[in-house]
Structures are given as structure tokens and as C-alpha cells.
């Protein structure tokens, strides 16, 4: 999670979301449960909980899109060594790893799905599948293997 990309994977009518935190180097993904709303306060609370559980060495930066759900970014930034950065509007290529991960999530949560019906356990199961899936870009290693190597060194 040294450099995280983050973005919402929005559900039906934008009412529900799954927050995604993705380490750009290992492709390791954390799925953040946002079942009821994606207000700035709900997003802040969910991200603070997840980020607070990570070792400090994995919390370097967070690259965000321009969504309103990041209005409380100043309260999240202290958890990160180098703070929060914002991608330019309409520039998804600046968050490429996160966009790719959101595409992978659509295999499990298709567009226009009501994401609020999924439990944290559902998200954990998908997260485990994504992180234990070999990736060509990682030399056919899994994100979990790459992250484990980073943590052990």
C-alpha cells in the first residue's frame, strides 16, 4: 500500500459503493464497505478504519479522484506519510491501477448492481479472490505474494 490508488465502485443509481484501496506496486486490493451512503463522513470513517489497521510502512500516499466523498481528506491525510493527492478531472489514466481493479470488480459486482446488499464478508471473499489471482504484470505472481515479500524484507 505504499502508494495507494482509491476510488469508488458505484452501485445502482450511485447510492451505494465499494471503496477500493489498491497498492500500485503489488496490485494488492482492499475493499471498503460503504453500504448505505458515500458521504464524505462515511468515506472518511471507513477509510480511517482500514488505513489505521495497516502498518505505517504501507501508508505512503493516496491518489484520489475528484469526487465529493473526499471532502474530509484533511482528516485522512495524517494517516499517510506523504498525504493525499488528487488526479486531474476526467483523467482516469492517472489512477490506472485503481481503474483496472474496478474493472476486475465488475466481474463480481456488475454495473447497476445494488451494492448495499453485499456484506463485509462478501467483500472479503472477493478481495481474497483478487489478491490470490496470478497477474501477468507481476510475472504470474499473486498480489498477496508480492505484498508478503515486501512486508518480510
Question: DSSP characters for 124-143?
Answer: HHHHHHHHTS-BGGGTTB-H
CATH code of the domain covering residue 62: 3.30.420.10
Is the pLDDT reported for residue 44 higher than 50? yes
Number of domains in the chain: 1
Q: What is the pTM of this model?
A: 0.84
Residue with the larger pLDDT of the pair 134 and 13: 134
Is the pLDDT reported for residue 25 higher than 90? no
Q: pLDDT value at position 9? A: 52
What secondary structure letter does DSSP report for 1?
A: -
Segment 90-99 shows an average pLDDT of 82
Residue 64 parent element (H or E):
strand 61-64
Is the pLDDT reported for residue 36 higher than 80? no
CB atoms within 10 A of CB 32: 21
Q: Which domain holds residue 111?
A: 3-152
Q: pLDDT value at position 2? A: 44
Is the pLDDT reported for residue 136 higher than 70? yes
Residue 63 parent element (H or E):
strand 61-64
Is the pLDDT reported for residue 14 higher than 70? no
Q: Three-state SS across 4-54?
A: EEEEEEECHHHCCEEEEEEECCCCCEEEEEECCCCCHHHHHHHHHHHHHCC
Amino acid at each position: 500500500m505504499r502508494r495507494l490508488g482509491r476510488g469508488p465502485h458505484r452501485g445502482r443509481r450511485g447510492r451505494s459503493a465499494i471503496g477500493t484501496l489498491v497498492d500500485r506496486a503489488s496490485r494488492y486490493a482492499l475493499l471498503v464497505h460503504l453500504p448505505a451512503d458515500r458521504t464524505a463522513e462515511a468515506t472518511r470513517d471507513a477509510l480511517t478504519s482500514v488505513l489505521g489497521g495497516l502498518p505505517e510502512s504501507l501508508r505512503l500516499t493516496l491518489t484520489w479522484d475528484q469526487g465529493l466523498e473526499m471532502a474530509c481528506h484533511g482528516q485522512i491525510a495524517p494517516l499517510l506519510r506523504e498525504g493525499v493527492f488528487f488526479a486531474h478531472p476526467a483523467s482516469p489514466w492517472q489512477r490506472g491501477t485503481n481503474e483496472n481493479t474496478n474493472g476486475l470488480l465488475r466481474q463480481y459486482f456488475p454495473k447497476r448492481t445494488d451494492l448495499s446488499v453485499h456484506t463485509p464478508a462478501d467483500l472479503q471473499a472477493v478481495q481474497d479472490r483478487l489478491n490470490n489471482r496470478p497477474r501477468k504484470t507481476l510475472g504470474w505472481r499473486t498480489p498477496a505474494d508480492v505484498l508478503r515479500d515486501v512486508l518480510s524484507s
